[in-house]
Amino acid sequence: SVPAPPPPAPRLTTPVPLRAPPPEYPRRARRREWEGRVLLLVEVLPDGSVGEIRVKESSGHSLLDRTAVETVRERWTFQPARANGRPVRSFVEVPIRFRLT
């Protein structure tokens, strides 16, 4: 007999930020003219909320890194990733740039 074909791979979409306010620039960082980019690895839960967050690349300033993490954790929401039309847990990289203007 012929073996059954493997099931199709699930169609996976990526999570999309729905609410993504920028972080407030910390006063101390502004006074010291600190700038930088933080790259976060964000777990997006099936309901679109944020789970774990890891700093994948630091800005070089722990204050900016912490501010980026807190902002995403407390204020961001996502349209979750979907596999075969159903919301699933996933991870997405989120860059946060601190630039003085």
pLDDT tens for each residue of the chain, 101 residues long: 788 888 776 688 999 999 999 999 999 999 999 999 999 999 999 999 999 999 999 999 999 999 999 999 999 999 999 998 899 999 999 999 999 98
pLDDT at 11: 81
* Pairwise CA distance, residues 15 & 48, whole Å: 8
Cα Rg of the chain, angstroms: 18
**pTM of the predicted model, to two decimals?**
0.87
* Sheet containing 36-44: order of strands: 50-57, 36-44, 90-98
Q: What amino acid occupies position 59?
A: S
Residue 10: its pLDDT value, please?
A: 66
Instruction: Give residue 5's pLDDT.
Output: 83
Residue-level pLDDT at 59: 98
Tell me which DSSP letter residue 60 carries. S
Q: What is the pLDDT of residue 66?
A: 98
Distance, CA of 58 to chain centre = 14
- pLDDT at residue number 6: 80
